Protein backbone atom coordinates (compact mmCIF):
# COMPACT_ATOMS: atom_id res chain seq x y z
CA UNK A 1 0.00 0.00 0.00
CA UNK A 2 1.42 3.38 -1.02
CA UNK A 3 2.19 5.72 1.88
CA UNK A 4 2.12 9.46 1.06
CA UNK A 5 2.97 12.42 3.27
CA UNK A 6 2.82 16.03 2.08
CA UNK A 7 4.54 18.91 3.86
CA UNK A 8 3.05 22.26 2.83
CA UNK A 9 3.92 25.89 3.59
CA UNK A 10 7.55 24.91 4.19
CA UNK A 11 10.91 26.53 3.63
CA UNK A 12 12.73 23.64 1.97
CA UNK A 13 16.50 23.92 2.33
CA UNK A 14 17.91 22.37 -0.83
CA UNK A 15 21.60 21.96 -1.56
CA UNK A 16 21.92 25.30 -3.33
CA UNK A 17 18.81 27.33 -2.46
CA UNK A 18 15.71 27.65 -0.27
CA UNK A 19 12.34 26.93 -1.86
CA UNK A 20 9.09 28.03 -0.28
CA UNK A 21 6.69 25.29 -1.20
CA UNK A 22 5.64 21.72 -0.53
CA UNK A 23 7.30 18.34 -0.36
CA UNK A 24 5.82 14.94 -1.20
CA UNK A 25 7.19 11.85 0.53
CA UNK A 26 6.10 8.48 -0.83
CA UNK A 27 7.05 5.12 0.67
CA UNK A 28 10.00 6.57 2.55
CA UNK A 29 11.46 8.45 -0.43
CA UNK A 30 11.29 12.06 -1.56
CA UNK A 31 8.88 11.97 -4.50
CA UNK A 32 8.31 15.61 -5.49
CA UNK A 33 9.31 19.18 -4.65
CA UNK A 34 6.89 21.93 -5.64
CA UNK A 35 6.99 25.68 -5.22
CA UNK A 36 3.89 27.20 -3.75
CA UNK A 37 1.57 26.11 -1.01
CA UNK A 38 -0.35 22.85 -1.29
CA UNK A 39 -3.98 22.65 -0.21
CA UNK A 40 -3.39 19.19 1.24
CA UNK A 41 -0.99 17.68 3.73
CA UNK A 42 0.67 18.91 6.90
CA UNK A 43 1.00 22.68 7.21
CA UNK A 44 4.44 23.25 8.75
CA UNK A 45 3.73 26.94 9.30
CA UNK A 46 6.71 28.28 7.41
CA UNK A 47 9.26 26.22 9.34
CA UNK A 48 12.43 24.99 7.68
CA UNK A 49 12.54 21.44 6.36
CA UNK A 50 16.15 20.31 6.14
CA UNK A 51 17.77 16.93 5.46
CA UNK A 52 18.42 14.71 8.46
CA UNK A 53 21.82 15.51 9.92
CA UNK A 54 24.75 13.16 9.28
CA UNK A 55 27.15 12.91 12.24
CA UNK A 56 30.64 11.53 11.57
CA UNK A 57 32.41 12.04 14.89
CA UNK A 58 30.74 11.84 18.28
CA UNK A 59 32.06 10.20 21.43
CA UNK A 60 28.89 11.16 23.29
CA UNK A 61 27.93 7.50 23.72
CA UNK A 62 30.77 7.18 26.23
CA UNK A 63 29.01 9.56 28.64
CA UNK A 64 26.07 7.13 28.75
CA UNK A 65 28.13 3.92 28.88
CA UNK A 66 30.64 5.23 31.43
CA UNK A 67 28.87 8.07 33.27
CA UNK A 68 31.42 8.03 36.13
CA UNK A 69 35.09 6.96 36.22
CA UNK A 70 35.27 3.18 36.44
CA UNK A 71 31.49 2.75 36.19
CA UNK A 72 29.91 0.85 33.28
CA UNK A 73 26.21 1.14 32.42
CA UNK A 74 24.12 -1.52 30.70
CA UNK A 75 25.08 -1.23 27.02
CA UNK A 76 21.55 -1.47 25.57
CA UNK A 77 20.28 1.14 28.03
CA UNK A 78 23.23 3.43 27.24
CA UNK A 79 22.64 3.06 23.50
CA UNK A 80 18.93 3.86 23.82
CA UNK A 81 19.63 6.97 25.93
CA UNK A 82 22.22 8.12 23.41
CA UNK A 83 19.91 7.39 20.49
CA UNK A 84 17.12 9.47 22.00
CA UNK A 85 19.37 12.51 22.38
CA UNK A 86 20.82 12.05 18.91
CA UNK A 87 17.44 11.93 17.18
CA UNK A 88 15.92 14.86 19.06
CA UNK A 89 18.95 16.88 17.94
CA UNK A 90 17.94 16.24 14.32
CA UNK A 91 20.60 13.59 13.64
CA UNK A 92 19.30 10.68 11.58
CA UNK A 93 22.62 9.04 10.63
CA UNK A 94 25.40 8.77 13.19
CA UNK A 95 28.87 7.24 13.21
CA UNK A 96 29.38 6.45 16.88
CA UNK A 97 33.00 6.57 18.03
CA UNK A 98 34.35 3.47 19.74
CA UNK A 99 37.77 3.97 21.29
CA UNK A 100 40.47 1.38 20.54
CA UNK A 101 43.78 1.20 22.36
CA UNK A 102 44.53 1.49 26.08
CA UNK A 103 47.02 4.20 26.97
CA UNK A 104 47.93 6.59 29.75
CA UNK A 105 44.56 8.27 29.26
CA UNK A 106 42.80 5.13 30.43
CA UNK A 107 40.82 3.74 27.53
CA UNK A 108 38.69 0.62 27.68
CA UNK A 109 39.65 -3.01 28.15
CA UNK A 110 39.82 -5.33 25.19
CA UNK A 111 36.38 -6.64 24.39
CA UNK A 112 34.42 -3.69 25.80
CA UNK A 113 34.03 -1.90 22.48
CA UNK A 114 33.24 -5.21 20.78
CA UNK A 115 30.48 -5.76 23.32
CA UNK A 116 29.00 -2.32 22.55
CA UNK A 117 29.08 -3.07 18.82
CA UNK A 118 27.26 -6.34 19.51
CA UNK A 119 24.71 -4.43 21.60
CA UNK A 120 24.09 -2.12 18.64
CA UNK A 121 23.30 -5.14 16.47
CA UNK A 122 20.91 -6.49 19.09
CA UNK A 123 19.21 -3.10 19.54
CA UNK A 124 18.87 -2.69 15.78
CA UNK A 125 17.38 -6.18 15.41
CA UNK A 126 14.88 -5.54 18.19
CA UNK A 127 13.73 -2.24 16.67
CA UNK A 128 15.04 -0.13 19.56
CA UNK A 129 16.87 2.49 17.45
CA UNK A 130 15.42 5.55 15.77
CA UNK A 131 18.61 6.81 14.09
CA UNK A 132 20.80 4.87 11.65
CA UNK A 133 23.80 4.00 13.83
CA UNK A 134 27.16 3.05 12.28
CA UNK A 135 30.62 2.67 13.81
CA UNK A 136 33.60 5.01 13.76
CA UNK A 137 36.74 3.40 15.20
CA UNK A 138 38.95 5.90 17.04
CA UNK A 139 42.33 4.20 16.86
CA UNK A 140 44.99 5.47 19.28
CA UNK A 141 47.96 4.43 17.16
CA UNK A 142 50.50 5.11 19.93
CA UNK A 143 48.89 2.44 22.14
CA UNK A 144 50.70 -0.88 22.29
CA UNK A 145 47.47 -2.88 22.12
CA UNK A 146 45.54 -0.96 19.45
CA UNK A 147 45.97 -3.69 16.81
CA UNK A 148 44.77 -6.32 19.26
CA UNK A 149 41.63 -4.22 19.85
CA UNK A 150 41.26 -3.55 16.12
CA UNK A 151 41.13 -7.29 15.40
CA UNK A 152 37.70 -7.38 17.06
CA UNK A 153 36.38 -5.29 14.15
CA UNK A 154 38.35 -6.59 11.19
CA UNK A 155 35.25 -8.09 9.52
CA UNK A 156 32.47 -5.98 11.10
CA UNK A 157 30.23 -4.45 8.42
CA UNK A 158 28.99 -1.82 10.89
CA UNK A 159 32.35 -0.03 10.60
CA UNK A 160 32.29 2.78 8.03
CA UNK A 161 34.97 5.13 9.34
CA UNK A 162 38.28 4.84 11.20
CA UNK A 163 40.47 7.66 12.50
CA UNK A 164 44.20 7.54 13.17
CA UNK A 165 45.00 9.37 16.43
CA UNK A 166 48.13 10.15 18.44
CA UNK A 167 47.65 12.21 21.60
CA UNK A 168 51.28 12.16 22.72
CA UNK A 169 52.82 15.51 23.78
CA UNK A 170 54.33 17.52 20.95
CA UNK A 171 52.06 15.75 18.47
CA UNK A 172 49.11 17.18 16.59
CA UNK A 173 46.45 18.33 19.09
CA UNK A 174 49.06 19.16 21.71
CA UNK A 175 51.81 21.03 19.91
CA UNK A 176 52.63 23.18 22.94
CA UNK A 177 53.28 22.01 26.48
CA UNK A 178 50.95 24.71 27.85
CA UNK A 179 47.98 22.88 26.31
CA UNK A 180 49.24 19.50 27.46
CA UNK A 181 49.88 20.65 31.04
CA UNK A 182 46.33 21.97 31.33
CA UNK A 183 44.76 18.89 29.77
CA UNK A 184 46.73 16.25 31.66
CA UNK A 185 48.85 17.54 34.55
CA UNK A 186 46.34 19.90 36.13
CA UNK A 187 43.25 17.83 35.38
CA UNK A 188 44.89 14.71 36.82
CA UNK A 189 46.53 16.51 39.75
CA UNK A 190 49.99 15.14 38.91
CA UNK A 191 53.13 16.32 40.64
CA UNK A 192 56.03 17.64 38.56
CA UNK A 193 57.85 14.32 38.89
CA UNK A 194 54.77 12.25 38.04
CA UNK A 195 54.04 14.45 35.05
CA UNK A 196 57.60 14.14 33.74
CA UNK A 197 57.40 10.33 33.93
CA UNK A 198 53.99 10.46 32.26
CA UNK A 199 55.36 12.49 29.34
CA UNK A 200 58.34 10.20 28.86
CA UNK A 201 56.10 7.14 28.69
CA UNK A 202 53.74 8.77 26.18
CA UNK A 203 56.54 10.00 23.92
CA UNK A 204 58.31 6.63 24.00
CA UNK A 205 55.10 4.80 23.10
CA UNK A 206 54.42 7.17 20.21
CA UNK A 207 57.93 6.75 18.83
CA UNK A 208 57.74 2.98 19.13
CA UNK A 209 54.25 2.23 17.80
CA UNK A 210 52.58 5.10 15.94
CA UNK A 211 54.09 4.88 12.47
CA UNK A 212 53.65 1.11 12.12
CA UNK A 213 50.11 1.10 13.50
CA UNK A 214 49.08 3.93 11.16
CA UNK A 215 50.29 1.95 8.16
CA UNK A 216 48.61 -1.26 9.26
CA UNK A 217 45.20 0.25 10.03
CA UNK A 218 45.18 2.45 6.94
CA UNK A 219 46.01 -0.55 4.75
CA UNK A 220 43.25 -2.72 6.21
CA UNK A 221 40.68 0.07 5.91
CA UNK A 222 41.64 0.89 2.33
CA UNK A 223 41.26 -2.77 1.35
CA UNK A 224 37.81 -2.94 2.95
CA UNK A 225 36.54 0.37 1.57
CA UNK A 226 36.33 1.99 5.01
CA UNK A 227 36.78 5.77 4.96
CA UNK A 228 40.01 6.80 6.73
CA UNK A 229 40.27 9.95 8.82
CA UNK A 230 43.39 11.73 9.96
CA UNK A 231 43.15 13.50 13.30
CA UNK A 232 44.60 16.78 14.60
CA UNK A 233 46.98 17.26 11.67
CA UNK A 234 49.25 20.22 12.36
CA UNK A 235 51.89 20.34 9.63
CA UNK A 236 52.19 19.95 5.88
CA UNK A 237 54.09 16.72 6.55
CA UNK A 238 51.09 15.37 8.45
CA UNK A 239 48.83 16.24 5.53
CA UNK A 240 51.14 14.62 3.00
CA UNK A 241 51.22 11.45 5.11
CA UNK A 242 47.41 11.48 5.26
CA UNK A 243 47.20 11.94 1.49
CA UNK A 244 49.53 8.98 0.96
CA UNK A 245 47.24 6.79 3.09
CA UNK A 246 44.16 7.78 1.06
CA UNK A 247 42.58 9.75 3.89
CA UNK A 248 39.17 11.18 2.96
CA UNK A 249 38.41 13.12 6.15
CA UNK A 250 40.73 15.53 7.99
CA UNK A 251 39.39 15.77 11.53
CA UNK A 252 40.14 18.87 13.62
CA UNK A 253 43.28 20.20 11.91
CA UNK A 254 45.16 22.28 14.45
CA UNK A 255 46.70 24.83 12.08
CA UNK A 256 45.39 26.94 9.22
CA UNK A 257 48.17 25.61 6.98
CA UNK A 258 47.10 22.01 7.60
CA UNK A 259 43.43 22.85 6.98
CA UNK A 260 44.25 24.66 3.73
CA UNK A 261 46.44 21.82 2.49
CA UNK A 262 43.92 19.12 3.46
CA UNK A 263 41.11 20.90 1.64
CA UNK A 264 43.31 21.49 -1.42
CA UNK A 265 44.19 17.77 -1.46
CA UNK A 266 40.50 16.85 -1.71
CA UNK A 267 39.95 15.80 1.89
CA UNK A 268 36.84 16.96 3.73
CA UNK A 269 37.97 19.22 6.56
CA UNK A 270 35.98 18.56 9.74
CA UNK A 271 35.71 20.84 12.76
CA UNK A 272 33.57 20.72 15.87
CA UNK A 273 30.16 22.34 15.99
CA UNK A 274 30.80 23.23 19.69
CA UNK A 275 33.75 25.27 18.39
CA UNK A 276 31.28 27.31 16.30
CA UNK A 277 28.78 27.68 19.16
CA UNK A 278 31.50 28.77 21.64
CA UNK A 279 33.43 30.80 19.09
CA UNK A 280 36.68 28.99 19.84
CA UNK A 281 38.32 25.62 20.38
CA UNK A 282 38.17 24.11 23.88
CA UNK A 283 41.85 23.09 23.55
CA UNK A 284 43.15 26.43 22.30
CA UNK A 285 43.48 25.53 18.62
CA UNK A 286 42.02 27.33 15.58
CA UNK A 287 38.42 28.54 15.41
CA UNK A 288 36.08 26.79 12.98
CA UNK A 289 34.65 30.15 11.91
CA UNK A 290 38.08 31.18 10.62
CA UNK A 291 38.21 28.14 8.36
CA UNK A 292 34.66 28.81 7.16
CA UNK A 293 35.69 32.35 6.21
CA UNK A 294 38.63 30.90 4.24
CA UNK A 295 36.33 28.50 2.41
CA UNK A 296 38.08 25.39 3.73
CA UNK A 297 35.49 24.13 6.24
CA UNK A 298 33.60 21.15 4.78
CA UNK A 299 32.03 19.21 7.67
CA UNK A 300 30.90 19.90 11.22
CA UNK A 301 30.56 17.26 13.93
CA UNK A 302 28.84 17.51 17.29
CA UNK A 303 31.87 15.93 19.01
CA UNK A 304 30.70 16.08 22.64
CA UNK A 305 27.38 18.05 22.45
CA UNK A 306 24.82 16.47 20.08
CA UNK A 307 22.54 19.51 19.81
CA UNK A 308 25.42 21.72 18.67
CA UNK A 309 25.19 20.07 15.23
CA UNK A 310 21.90 21.77 14.43
CA UNK A 311 22.74 24.99 16.26
CA UNK A 312 26.06 25.73 14.52
CA UNK A 313 24.85 26.06 10.88
CA UNK A 314 22.29 28.68 11.86
CA UNK A 315 24.98 30.62 13.72
CA UNK A 316 27.33 30.57 10.73
CA UNK A 317 24.60 31.59 8.27
CA UNK A 318 22.10 33.77 10.09
CA UNK A 319 24.16 35.26 12.94
CA UNK A 320 27.69 35.49 11.56
CA UNK A 321 26.80 35.80 7.86
CA UNK A 322 29.82 33.69 6.91
CA UNK A 323 27.85 31.68 4.33
CA UNK A 324 24.32 31.11 3.09
CA UNK A 325 22.01 28.78 5.02
CA UNK A 326 22.07 26.09 2.27
CA UNK A 327 25.88 26.19 2.37
CA UNK A 328 25.88 25.90 6.17
CA UNK A 329 23.37 23.03 6.17
CA UNK A 330 25.58 21.16 3.67
CA UNK A 331 28.27 21.02 6.37
CA UNK A 332 26.06 18.73 8.44
CA UNK A 333 24.18 16.85 5.71
CA UNK A 334 25.30 16.44 2.10
CA UNK A 335 29.07 16.73 2.51
CA UNK A 336 29.49 14.33 5.45
CA UNK A 337 27.20 11.85 3.67
CA UNK A 338 29.29 12.00 0.49
CA UNK A 339 32.55 11.78 2.45
CA UNK A 340 31.62 8.32 3.71
CA UNK A 341 29.98 7.19 0.48
CA UNK A 342 26.33 7.58 1.46
CA UNK A 343 24.78 8.97 -1.71
CA UNK A 344 21.18 8.11 -0.78
CA UNK A 345 20.78 10.79 1.91
CA UNK A 346 21.89 14.22 3.08
CA UNK A 347 19.92 16.17 0.47
CA UNK A 348 16.33 17.07 -0.32
CA UNK A 349 16.12 15.73 -3.85
CA UNK A 350 13.73 13.43 -5.68
CA UNK A 351 14.49 9.75 -5.22
CA UNK A 352 16.55 10.13 -2.05
CA UNK A 353 15.71 8.72 1.37
CA UNK A 354 13.25 10.92 3.26
CA UNK A 355 15.42 11.67 6.32
CA UNK A 356 14.01 15.07 7.26
CA UNK A 357 13.97 17.57 10.12
CA UNK A 358 11.43 20.31 10.78
CA UNK A 359 13.19 23.25 12.41
CA UNK A 360 11.91 26.58 13.69
CA UNK A 361 14.48 29.30 14.14
CA UNK A 362 13.34 32.84 14.76
CA UNK A 363 16.31 33.84 16.92
CA UNK A 364 18.81 32.24 19.22
CA UNK A 365 18.70 28.47 19.66
CA UNK A 366 16.70 26.60 16.98
CA UNK A 367 13.82 24.31 17.91
CA UNK A 368 13.67 20.82 16.43
CA UNK A 369 9.93 20.27 16.02
CA UNK A 370 9.82 16.91 14.24
CA UNK A 371 12.20 14.32 12.76
CA UNK A 372 11.56 11.67 10.10
CA UNK A 373 13.77 8.77 9.10
CA UNK A 374 12.95 7.04 5.83
CA UNK A 375 9.61 8.84 5.90
CA UNK A 376 8.68 7.56 9.35
CA UNK A 377 8.35 10.08 12.15
CA UNK A 378 10.83 9.24 14.93
CA UNK A 379 10.68 12.43 17.04
The predicted-structure confidence for 120-139, as pLDDT tens digits, reads as follows 999 999 999 999 999 999 99
pLDDT on residue 44 = 96
Burial of 191 from C-beta contacts in 10 A (0-12 / 13-18 / 19+): exposed
pLDDT on residue 104 = 57
- Full domain range(s) for residue 8: 4-377
d(CA 74, CA 276): 33
* Counted domains in the chain: 1
C-alpha distance across the termini of the chain, in Å? 24
Q: What is the pLDDT of residues 356-374, one digit of tens each?
A: 999 999 989 999 999 999 9
The DSSP code for 286 is: -
pLDDT on residue 195 = 75
Q: What's the rounded mean pLDDT across residues 221-246?
A: 95
d(CA 193, CA 154): 40
Strand pairing class (48-51; 4-13) = parallel
d(CA 103, CA 146): 9
CA Rg value for the chain:
21
Q: What is the pLDDT of residues 174-190, one digit of tens each?
A: 555 566 665 666 656 67
| Contacts within 8 Å (CB) and 24+ apart, 312-317 | 312/273, 312/274, 312/276, 312/277, 312/288, 314/361, 314/366, 315/276, 315/277, 316/276, 316/289, 316/292
Residue with the bigger pLDDT between 180 and 271: it is 271
Q: What is the pLDDT of residues 191-218, one digit of tens each?
A: 778 777 877 888 888 889 999 999 999 9
pLDDT on residue 179 = 61
**How many C-beta atoms surround the C-beta of residue 67 within 10 A?**
12
Nearest to 104 by CA among 252, 206, 218: 206
pTM of the model: 0.93
d(CA 307, CA 314): 12
pLDDT on residue 252 = 94
CATH number at residue 217: 3.20.20.140
φ, ψ for residue 4 (rounded to 5)?
A: -110, 145
The count of C-alpha atoms lying within 13 angstroms of the C-alpha of 24, restricted to the half-sphere facing its C-beta, is 15
Q: Which residues contact 364 (CB under 8 A, 6 or more apart)?
A: none
d(CA 229, CA 249): 5
To the nearest 10°, report the CA torsion of 34, 38, 43, 47.
Answer: 30
Amino acid sequence: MTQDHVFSNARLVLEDRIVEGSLLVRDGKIAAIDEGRSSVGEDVEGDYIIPGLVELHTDHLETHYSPRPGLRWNAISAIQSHDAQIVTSGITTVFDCLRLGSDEDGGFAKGEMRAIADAFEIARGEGRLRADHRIHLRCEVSAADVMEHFEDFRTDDQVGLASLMDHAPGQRQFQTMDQYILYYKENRGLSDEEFERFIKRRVAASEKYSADHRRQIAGICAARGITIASHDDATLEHVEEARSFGVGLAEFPTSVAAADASHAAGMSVLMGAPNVVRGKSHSGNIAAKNLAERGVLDVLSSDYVPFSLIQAPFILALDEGVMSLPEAIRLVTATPARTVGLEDRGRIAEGLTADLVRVRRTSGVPVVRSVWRSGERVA
